[in-house]
Structure 1
Amino acid sequence: MSSFNLILLKTLFLIRSLAPGSKITNPDKLFLIISTQYLSLIEKTNPAIHYSEKFSRQQPGECAVCLSGFMKGERVRKLRCNHTFHKECLDKWLQQYLATCPLCRTRVLPDEIVVNYHQLQDNIRNGGSFDDSMFLLSALYGNSLKKLF
């Protein structure tokens, strides 16, 4: 089982524990849980580093999301495409849009992870139930997830 599947299972167990009935009762807490898991995947694939003078000689000195210059010691993410952004700017971008580089559109995460993340958020935002969330996940990963609950 991939690490993403394990993270999804952890998230589902947390969702189930927060939703005693079948309705999701605390959407803010669920958004936080899902976003935290999503950001941990981003961190695992593209770890944040501290910006330094040595780094600045190799890269442009400005974040293309907020258009502010990098300062020594700030946390930045350098993507596989070699574009660099403030960690917070890029994380916000990746949560709101497709998980692609804001400049060249190189994928940061696989499409199915991004689609699943946004579908779970939409389900919660629209008052969906735990069972609805399970349906969304099983559409991607088969009925094997339902057997766990």
Structure 2
Amino acid sequence: MAALSQFFSHLYTLTIIFFTILLLELVILVRSLASNFNTSSASDPPPLSTAHFLDLVEENIPASRFSHNTTTGSRIEPTECAVCLSMVEEGEEIRNLKCNHMFHKVCLDTWLQQDWATCPLCRTVVVPEEIVMKYRQRRNHHHHHQDQYDGSDEELIFLLSAIHGNNLHRLL
């Protein structure tokens, strides 16, 4: 008889856990839908993907290959990329900014992807701010969704144990 009572007790606890998980999933879904509804409007331009952002950077600051020799035949002094602090070598892809600062293409692209629209050295604007703002929208939208509950078991066990006490740990 005690075994039957314990079985129904466990069954009751598992039923409560199931319905709690179901309720949590519904709350997460409703919050997600409400968040998407409130943050997007028909007048907002769509956020930029990373690939599209880098295409726009390429349009504004075309990359080229580094060469120690100029067209006049005089030799350029060794140059260091101020982002990675490595020497720029012959044939590497670079970006020359209007402020006359030069960087490895990959280094400057990484800098610009961190929401910086300026030269890493002198802070001259190198990409129009509206491009960076559109890209920032995508990053903020993506980051916002990462902050929500991701369905990890540890968080769920902690939440349910707080709701249902220590009986849950004995079941699991």
Q: Give the TM-score, by structure 1 length.
A: 0.59
Residue 41 of structure 1 aligns to a residue whose secondary structure is helix
Alignment partner, residue 37 of structure 1: 52
Letter in 2 for 1:53: H
Letter matched to residue 126 of structure 1: H
Q: Deviations over 1:75-123 (max 9, x none)?
A: 0000111100000000000001321000011111111221221122111
What code does the residue aligned with 2:119 have?
A: C
Alignment correspondent of 1:29: none
Q: Which residues of 2 match residues 19-58 of structure 1 at below 5 A?
A: 34-55=49-70, 57-58=75-76
The offset of 1:59, in angstroms, is 6.4
Residue aligning to 1:112: 130
CA RMSD of aligned residues (A): 2.3
Please tell me whether the aligned partners of residues 77 and 90 of structure 1 are also in contact (alpha carbons under 8 angstroms). Answer: yes
Is 1:127 aligned to residue 145 of structure 2?
yes
Q: Structure 1 stretches of 5 or more lacking a match?
A: 1-21, 24-32, 129-149
Aligned pair partner of 2:85 in 62, 67, 72? 67
Instruction: Quote how far apart the aligned CAs of 1:60 are.
Output: 5.5
SS at match of 2:94: strand
Say if 1:59 and 1:84, in contact at 8 Å, map to a contact too: no
Larger RCO, structure (CA 8 Å, separation 6 or more): 1
User: Structure 1 residues 97, 124: CA separation in 2 closer, same or farther (over 3 Å shift)?
Assistant: closer
Larger radius of gyration: 2
Q: Report how many residues are paired.
A: 98
Following the alignment from structure 2 to structure 1, what is the Cα–Cα distance between the partners of residues 126 and 75?
Answer: 24
Q: Which residue identity is paired with 2:115? A: Y
Counterparts of 1:70-149 in structure 2, within 5 Å, are 70-127=88-145
- Evaluate the alpha carbon distance shift between residue 92 and residue 63 of structure 1 in structure 2; reply closer, same or farther with a 3 A threshold: same
Q: Match of 1:53, SS? A: coil
Conserved? CA contact 2:115–2:136, under 8 Å: no
